[in-house]
Each structure stands twice: as structure tokens, then as C-alpha cells.
Amino acid sequence: MNFKEELEKKTGEVEAVVKRYLPAQEGYQRRVLEAMDYAVSAGGKRLRPLLMRETAALFGEAGEGLSCFMAAIEFIHTYSLIHDDLPALDNDDYRRGRKTTHVVYGEDIAVIAGDGLLNYAYETALRAFDKAETIEAYQRTAHAMHILGRKAGVYGMVGGQCADLLADKPEAEVTKDVLLFIHKNKTAALIQAAMTIGAVLAGADEKAVAQIERCAENIGVAFQIQDDILDVTGSLEVLGKPTGSDEKNHKLTYVTMHGLEESKRQVEALSGEAVGILRTFPHRNAFLETLAEQLIYREK
């Protein structure tokens, strides 16, 4: 099987896991459940749960609880996209080739669909405790919960989003340091959560988890720089969302601060280092290595 076929097969498996944990659309809260379902079912690369599963595979058997965390992280990612697209934030009408949640369901329902997904993510992750059969599995699950909470919150994605929102103000002084903080937190933190949770659940030791955290940071920052690059070089047809939105919003990006060529060089350097780390472990996961590398050539 070549990489592309393997990626499709694995993405399909991840998709099935995510779908399995989506709540039924019923009751007087049906409307919000529909909006949550709409946002999650819009597809997407399922990169975070995929990275989680593949990182776990690098270290061994992660147990049943892994699937709960895979769904949870995709729910958190999706909530962040719903809120990010809102008129008060980026005001985007398209995402993943479809109308954004607030365009279809209205702003009020979109806000609570994001809230609903965030809460349901933790409910889902907590179900991993029901599947833990040993003290050790229990401890690993608790550790994974800590990582998820921290990396998705103010010391992770939400913190990065805050710095990003402030950087957008006309009076803001955005340095390269601030921009790197934004990328490390807004984007890389959730990728770090995905990969370190996979490692922790599969029993990786502290040193290995720290290395995975570093590897994931590189992948996340490279991923975000590539996002900035694609906003300049991509198209609506390929990306499923309008390009030039960073320029339209006068947004300072890696590309505007460092230039296109330097940005491309950075993506390659970061991906290279990330793959280098993955190669240091006793077991190898060729698929994961290629996936990290492929971020360089990503077109959407």
C-alpha cells in the first residue's frame, strides 16, 4: 500500500471512531446537537486523532481508552473552528468547502454548538476511565486528561488565540516572538496534546513524552506556517475556503514577517527535525514519519 492509500484507509478508520462518539440528535436541544453534528461531519483531515493513534502505535498498546481521546480532540478542534469563524472573530463564511456553522444555524446556535462540543469532548475523554482495567491504565488516563485540559486551555490553544486576537488590533506591536508564541499555542498545543496523549496512553516514559512534545511543537508550527503560505499561494477550489483572507484582514503572518521563501525553508527545517526525533525511538512508524514530512507538501 502506498502512503496515499494508507492515509485514506486510516483517515476512514479515524472518521468512524469520531462518528461513533457523536451524540444522537434528539430532545429539545436537538438544534444544537444538529449544529454540532454539522460542524464535525464537515470532514477535515482528522489530523489530530490520526497523529494521536499513530504516536501511540510508536510505543505499543494504548488500550480501549484511546478512541475516547481521539474523538475528544477532534471535538475540541471542531469547536475552535466554529468559534474562530464567528463574525466577532474571523468572520469566515466557508470552511472545509461548506458554509460555516453560524451561516447555516445562526450565530446564537453556533456559539453554543462550540460550547456543547467543548464540554462533550471532556465527557467523551472521561469515558476512557470506564475502559481502564488496571491501576496503570487509570493513571495514564488521568495524565492524558491533564494534558488535554492544559493544552486546549489558556496555557495552550485559548492562550494562543488570545494573543492572536490582540495582535490583530491596529495598535498592536507584533514581534517575531509574539508570532511564534501564537503559532506554538494556537496551533501547536493541540497537536502536542494529540501526540503526547497517544504516547502516554501507550506507556511511553517521561523522556520519550518530552521528545514527542518537542516533535509535535515542530509539526504544529510547521503546519501553521504552511497554513499562512497556503493563504497566499492556494485557491478556493483546493482549500475549500477563500484565500487572501489574512491579507484582507491585514493579518501579520509568518509570510508577511519572514517572506515566502524563508517561510518555506522554515517549514522544511521544522518538519525535518520532527521526523529526526521520530527516528530516535526503538520502534519506527514509517507512516507517521511520512505524515510529518507530508506537511511540507500539503496543499490544503
Interaction between residue 228 and Mg ion (CB under 5 A):
no
> Rounded to the nearest whole angstrom, what is the least distance from the CB of residue 194 to ligand FPP in the complex?
11
CB closer to Mg ion out of 217 and 228: 228
Closest residue by beta carbon to ligand FPP:
44
Piece in contact with ligand FPP (CB under 6 A), picked from 23-31, 43-51, 52-60, 193-201: 43-51
Rounded CA separation 189/168 (Å): 20
Closest residue by beta carbon to Mg ion:
90
- Which of 4, 45, 265, 284 contacts ligand FPP by CB under 6 A? 45
CB closer to Mg ion out of 54 and 90: 90
Piece in contact with Mg ion (CB under 5 A), picked from 86-94, 161-169, 218-226, 234-242: 86-94
Determine contact, residues 219/191, Cβ cutoff 8 Å. Answer: yes
Determine contact, residues 110/93, Cβ cutoff 8 Å. Answer: no
Please give the size of the binding site for ligand FPP, defined by CB under 6 A. 15
Which of ligand FPP, Mg ion, none is residue 47 near (CB under 5 to 8 Å by kind)?
Answer: ligand FPP
**Residue 95: DSSP 8-state:** E
Return the half-sphere exposure (C-beta side, CA atoms, 13 A cut-off) of residue 167.
24
283's grid cell: 520502534
Rounded CA separation 212/58 (Å): 11
Interaction between residue 90 and Mg ion (CB under 5 A):
yes
Tell me how many degrees the CA angle 259-261-265 measures, rounded to the nearest 5: 115
Determine contact, residues 296/226, Cβ cutoff 8 Å. Answer: yes
Which of Mg ion, ligand FPP, none is residue 81 near (CB under 5 to 8 Å by kind)?
Answer: ligand FPP
